[in-house]
Structure 1
Amino acid sequence: MPHHLMNLRNVPDDEAEEIRELFESHAVSYYETPPSRWGISMGGFWVHDDDEARRARALLDDYQRQRQHQQRQRYQDGLHRGEVAGFWQRLVRHPVRILAACLAIAVIIALTLAPFLNLG
């Protein structure tokens, strides 16, 4: 029975390539299905064997922990260098866009909660 290891929808090309290299370097016999153009099928990495699935899952979990740490570190470094804008920097650069987004969020929350607030 096939085991789905990872969804490929919205996965960056560099991450998918690194996972392919990881599986190939550890001789994991996997196969890949691409995500559909219209978002109907998710695509992903698959294996057939239960033992292979456990081994691949362990490799994938370790890889994803490392990638998460690496990406967070890259983001923090960008914040410290001023290359990545935080909320306040974005507000200063694009005040109308940020305030419009906040207003839209408030309206959506109000419309969502209005039926429950009018019960009493």
Structure 2
Amino acid sequence: MARLLFRLSNVPDAEAEEVRELFEARGFDTYETRAGFWGLGVAAIWLRDESQYEAAREALDAYQQGLRERMRHAHSGLAERGEAPTLWKRLVNHPVRMLLVAVAVGVILVVTLLPFLGLIG
């Protein structure tokens, strides 16, 4: 019976390709499923042979630990150079988008709290 190894939803294409290459290089018998047109399915990489599951999980965990370290190192490098994304930088670089987000948050708050405010008055 097949076992789920790695969900592909919200995964960057580069990371998904690295995971595919990792499984192929290690000789794991995998296949992929897509979420489908309506997104109702599971976009994932599955392992056909359940006896390989522990070795595949160990390989995937080692890859993800290395990726985590690379991302932390890259972010710390950006922070040291003052190039790390911050709320202020996003506001300066995309003022219209940030204004629209603030308006949307305000509308959601008003719509959410309106019934409770009506009870007070």
Give me the TM-score of the superposition, normalised by structure 2: 0.74
The residue identity in structure 1 corresponding to 2:30 is Y
Cα distance, 1:119–1:85 mapped onto 2, change above 3 Å: same
The residue number in structure 2 matching 1:27 is: 27
Paired residues in the alignment total: 120
Q: Contact 1:79–1:86 (CA<8 Å) still a contact in 2?
A: no
Give the whole-Å Cα distance in 1 for the aligned partners of 2:119 and 2:54. Answer: 51
Give the whole-Å Cα distance in 1 for the aligned partners of 2:29 and 2:98. Answer: 47
Name the % identity: 43
Q: CA RMSD in A?
A: 2.6
Give the whole-Å Cα distance in 1 for the aligned partners of 2:96 and 2:25. Answer: 50
The residue identity in structure 2 corresponding to 1:45 is I
The residue number in structure 1 matching 2:108 is: 108
Cα distance, 1:63–1:90 mapped onto 2, change above 3 Å: same
1:9, distance to aligned residue in structure 2 (A)? 2.5
Structure 1 SS opposite 2:22: helix
Cα distance, 1:112–1:58 mapped onto 2, change above 3 Å: farther
1:118, distance to aligned residue in structure 2 (A)? 5.0
Give the whole-Å Cα distance in 2 for the aligned partners of 1:52 and 1:84. Answer: 40
> Which 4+ residue blocks in structure 1 deviate beyond 6 angstroms?
none
- Structure 1 stretches of 5 or more lacking a match? none
1:37, distance to aligned residue in structure 2 (A)? 4.6
Q: Spell out the pairing of 1:1-120 with structure 2 (5 A cutoff).
A: 1-116=1-116, 118=118
The residue identity in structure 2 corresponding to 1:55 is A
